[in-house]
Structure 1
């Protein structure tokens, strides 16, 4: 499960999008991703690095793309978290 979750996190981070500010949908997605990371036992430093990568990846895309990707990720993380 840890390998699957780690791969999921990496894929989600790499596939995200956004603009200069993080959309609300992406904040919600990050909250779910952060909770999952804590469940996996990642330390605070690892989570901070993930957040930095998350924010950088969403800033590389348009706001519309970011919202769509974050909504998809949030839905998927909701399923994985159950």
Structure 2
């Protein structure tokens, strides 16, 4: 299950929550219910904003086989498909 970061608009803190890709959280109450957090002093209707998380960058020099797969470089893959 993917992990998402949300910022609470009341306290500006970022909270990490796991949920399905199809689910969207919009309020503090929804976030608390899913994450098992107490509402505290923040109203349940307070808006939360899902943050975009940067993807991990991997340098090709750190890979076991740093060459680009044939299908990514314009050539065909042997066997018909390689998963890209």
Q: When the two structures are superposed, what TM-score results if normalisation uses the length of structure 2? A: 0.23
* Structure with the higher fraction of residues in helix conformation: 1
Structure showing greater radius of gyration is 2
Q: TM-score, normalising length from structure 1?
A: 0.24
Q: Which has the higher strand share?
A: 2
Higher-RCO chain (CA-CA 8 Å, sequence separation at least 6): 1
